[in-house]
Amino acid sequence: MSEPKKLFIKTYGCQMNVYDSERMAEALGGQGYVEAKSADDADMILLNTCHIREKAAEKVYSELGRFKGLKAEKPDLKIGVAGCVAQAEGEEIMRRQPLVDLVVGPQSYHRLPEMEAKTREGEKALDTDFPEEDKFEKLKNRPKAKRGPTAFLTVQEGCDKFCAFCVVPYTRGAEVSRPADRIIHEAQDLVERGVREITLLGQNVNAYHGAGPNGDMTLAGLIWELNKIDGLERIRFTTSHPNDMSDDLIEAHGTCDKLMPYLHLPVQSGSDRILKRMNRSHTAESYLRLIERIREARPDILMSGDFIVGFPEETDEDFQATLNLVEQVKYGYAYSFKYSTRPGTPAAERPQVEPEVADDRLQRLQAMITQHQREIQDSMVGRTVRVLFEKPGRLAGQMVGKSEYLHAVHVTNADVATGDLRAVKITGSGANSLAGELI
Ligand code: SAM
Ligand code: SF4
């Protein structure tokens, strides 16, 4: 019997890319590929790229350059570029880096088996189409490997919002929702393979409106359907846009027992002037009111968000408005980024903020967020949470998992296994995790 071929995928960027990488591995699994531990060991290397911030393409080219030696040693090694840089750069990638055999956009990876076969014939394969057929449907007959306790499940892709700074509407295309029955089927399949927590993914996940048995279903409707699956214990979703936070979804946070008390709701800025220039179509005030309503439905919910500092024309006053908003919300987690110019987006043409000013603002914002994060984490000490255990920890005898609020929690020398969901009393709060004891 011949040795199986080995595939190494390096994933950059968001959770949707993590999900896509898993699907690509499964698609190529049908061609006899198994996972390689490193690029050195592989017969095929795929870089699943992200284009959200600057220099992404340059990083991909320099990473590709490093494979020159490997390719010289192993002429049969195939090298591919997938994801949003593949979508944005297309054929240019093969022109600039001739060692690349394959370029596949995020909407075409179900065509990877045919593309891989083409490269084995010595040809180059390029596909950055937005095809009509459903890539998820084409991939459904994949091997049923056992899974860990948590999984991502993409329910919606693309975006029609066109925030002035963002490339997603260009690289991922228009907003599309998958039909509800296919998602429910995929969730059931994941549960049969050992998954107990599913995070529903979409660039604008709460704008979900997939076909259901009685017309379009909302995200809340889908969550209620998933709530019925025996063996599925937890449901999460990300990333949401404030304008799509519908009444039924807010209500579900108060009433749906498997929906976890954690919400990632990016605001980007606390200044109405900047929000308008960003084309966000919400104000700081409407965002704060929305959070109030969410907290009424679920008082213990932990909020998370995204911020951009140094957006073109941002003044000290605008930035102060962002700090004021953060002070009011008190996020348990938040991701803050320095504005990064994306050619082709409206904001790229506007007067830019000095990099040192943006750096300073980023540091100040992150210091405030870290302080709140720490306070919220510390306030968990003495409380009882439920932890879904995911893996052994770094120290001997340790097991780690996540609480409802997505805090990492570890226990030591306890009788727990991966996949167990147990009540834990929190006894200590460290830099990035909580310590606890089983109850
Ligand atoms: N759809 C989500 C939303 O509207 O909140 C966000 C998706 S985007 C992939 C993730 C985050 O990347 C954004 O919330 C934003 O903070 C950040 N981001 C997007 N474009 C950026 C840019 N040009 N510069 C800096 N950060 C950016
Ligand atoms: Fe990008 Fe999110 Fe705005 Fe869509 S809603 S354009 S994904 S930041």
Say yes or no: CB of residue 268 within 6 Å of ligand 1. yes
Taking the centre of ligand 1 as the mean of its atom positions, its distance from the CA of residue 166, in whole angstroms, is 6
Residues in the chain: 439
pLDDT for the residue 144 = 63
Nearest ligand to the CA atom of 158: 2
Quickly list H helices, 121-235. 135-138, 168-171, 180-192, 219-227
Amino acid present at 243: N
pLDDT band with cut points at 50, 70 and 90 for residue 59: confident
Taking the centre of ligand 1 as the mean of its atom positions, its distance from the CA of residue 235, in whole angstroms, is 23
Q: Biggest alpha carbon distance in the chain?
A: 69
Which numbered atom of ligand 2 lies nearest the CA of 280? 3
Residue of 306, 338, 352 to test ligand 1 pocket, by largest number of atoms within 8 Å of CB: 306
Q: Tell me the C-alpha distance between 418 and 394, whole Å.
A: 15
Q: Tell me the C-alpha distance between 136 and 201, whole Å.
A: 14
Nearest ligand to the CA atom of 162: 2
Backbone dihedral angles phi then psi of residue 156, each to the nearest 5 degrees: -150, 145
Residue nearest to atom 22 of ligand 1 (CA): 340
Reading the block at residue 197, the tokens are: 């927590």
Closest Cα to residue 104, out of 140, 66, 78? Answer: 78
Backbone dihedral angles phi then psi of residue 318, each to the nearest 5 degrees: -60, -45
Half-sphere exposure of 79 (CA within 13 A, CB side): 22
Which numbered atom of ligand 1 lies nearest the CA of 166? 20
pLDDT for the residue 103 = 95
Q: Tell me the C-alpha distance between 262 and 200, whole Å.
A: 13
Helix 247-255 with 219-227: angle, nearest 10 deg: 30
Burial of 294 (0-12, 13-18, 19+ CB in 10 A): buried
Consecutive H or E run containing 103? strand 102-104
Taking the centre of ligand 1 as the mean of its atom positions, its distance from the CA of residue 279, in whole angstroms, is 13
Residue nearest to atom 1 of ligand 2 (CA): 166
Per-chain mean pLDDT for the chain: 93
For 273-323, what is each residue's pLDDT tens digit? Answer: 999 999 999 999 999 999 999 999 999 999 999 999 999 999 999 999 999
Taking the centre of ligand 2 as the mean of its atom positions, its distance from the CA of residue 239, in whole angstroms, is 9
Q: What is the pTM of this model?
A: 0.91
For 186-215, what is each residue's pLDDT tens digit? Answer: 999 999 999 999 999 999 999 999 999 999
Taking the centre of ligand 1 as the mean of its atom positions, its distance from the CA of residue 291, in whole angstroms, is 20
Say yes or no: CB of residue 204 within 6 Å of ligand 1. yes
Rounded mean pLDDT of 110-117?
92
Question: Over 80: is that where the pLDDT of 133 sits?
Answer: no
- Quote the percentage of the chain above a pLDDT of 70: 97
Residue nearest to atom 13 of ligand 1 (CA): 306
Rounded mean pLDDT of 346-353?
95
Taking the centre of ligand 2 as the mean of its atom positions, its distance from the CA of residue 210, in whole angstroms, is 19
Taking the centre of ligand 2 as the mean of its atom positions, its distance from the CA of residue 136, in whole angstroms, is 22
Question: Over 80: is that where the pLDDT of 118 sits?
Answer: yes
pLDDT for the residue 179 = 96
Using only C-alpha atoms, the chain has a radius of gyration, in whole angstroms, of 23
Say yes or no: CB of residue 163 within 6 Å of ligand 2. yes
